[in-house]
């Protein structure tokens, strides 16, 4: 398939690489041309000087950019240039409102749109093992799924346009609560003066076990917070969650509290620390 990938950040760069490795004909665009040229040299694809050039004639276009406005800007540039009847696959975490708006805009241009945010972080992207939650019409999803399969271990259509983004919000609510609980557990163990390695071995095989515990307990103890998904990004995502909750009436007291804890981390200079840096907030003198 002829596929374009727009946005070569820590997630998009390896995701586009998996597309090329799977045999798709891939062209890329990035706001920093040097990165697009480096990708093309590494994977044998083509770097477009503009979005329109990158997507020309493509039957599928994947996006992994920053926010709602970035997606709108990409759509304006790509819709007239991509192949008619093609599908846009948006891996950006955005508002559900934007996803529904984009689906309508794409339909008006004779194209399909799927909101397809991901979970699994940089490690999942590099391993080609992301979990993808999708929203869109069934026909749109059928076009998108073979593309997404190049870099995902799990792909699930949740419902119509916007449903993928709503599911990603559920994902971020779960993560926020678990990471805060884990940070407090590590802080408690250290303050109590007990052996944190022994604690991990004792509790990680029981009901307290989680992905976050398996991957972040020991690094929290060590004060290492350089694992990819930045606090700035998490606050953006939680802002989307809380906006949606205000609109639909959901009560998210814990999520709102953890969002403010991440604001504290930002004030500590941890904007680019990963989400497990909630532990650092508890270690302040």
Residue 149: CB atoms within 10 A of its CB come to: 15
Residues labelled as active-site residues = 168
Round the CA-based radius of gyration of the chain to a whole number and report it. 20
Contacts of 265 by beta carbon, 8 Å cutoff, 6+ apart = 231, 271, 273, 277, 278, 280, 281
Contacts of 57 by beta carbon, 8 Å cutoff, 6+ apart = 2, 82, 83
- In angstroms, the CA 240 to CA 246 distance is 10
Helix 196-203 crosses helix 211-222 at what angle (to 10 degrees)?
Answer: 180
Residue 210, beta-bridge partner list: none
- In angstroms, the CA 9 to CA 258 distance is 26
Q: Name which of 57, 51, 11, 60 is nearest 28 in CA terms.
A: 51
- In angstroms, the CA 132 to CA 242 distance is 22
């Amino acid at each position: 398939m002829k596929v374009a990938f727009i946005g070569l950040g820590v997630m998009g760069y390896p995701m586009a690489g998996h597309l090329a490795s799977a045999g798709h004909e891939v062209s890329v665009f990035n706001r920093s041309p040097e990165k697009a040229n480096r990708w093309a040299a590494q994977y044998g694809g083509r770097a477009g000087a503009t979005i329109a050039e990158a997507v020309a004639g493509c039957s599928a276009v994947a996006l992994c950019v920053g926010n709602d406005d970035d997606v709108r800007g990409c759509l304006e540039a790509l819709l007239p240039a991509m192949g008619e009847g093609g599908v846009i696959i948006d891996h950006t975490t955005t508002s559900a409102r934007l996803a529904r708006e984009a689906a309508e805009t794409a339909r008006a241009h004779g194209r399909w749109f799927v909101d397809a945010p991901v979970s699994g972080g940089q490690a999942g992207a590099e391993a080609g093992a992301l979990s993808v939650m999708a929203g869109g019409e069934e026909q749109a999803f059928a076009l998108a799924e073979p593309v997404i399969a190049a870099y995902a271990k799990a792909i699930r259509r949740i419902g119509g346009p916007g449903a993928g983004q709503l599911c990603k919000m559920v994902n971020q609510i779960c993560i926020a609560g678990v990471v805060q609980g884990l940070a407090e557990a590590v802080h408690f163990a250290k303050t109590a003066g007990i052996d944190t390695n022994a604690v991990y071995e004792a509790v990680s095989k029981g009901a307290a076990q989680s992905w976050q515990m398996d991957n972040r307990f020991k690094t929290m103890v060590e004060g290492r917070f350089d694992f990819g998904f930045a606090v700035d990004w998490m606050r953006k995502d939680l802002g989307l969650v809380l906006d949606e909750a205000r609109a639909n009436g959901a009560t998210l007291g814990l999520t709102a509290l953890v969002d403010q804890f991440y604001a504290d981390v930002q004030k500590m200079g941890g904007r680019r620390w990963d989400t497990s840096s909630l532990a650092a907030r508890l270690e302040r003198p």
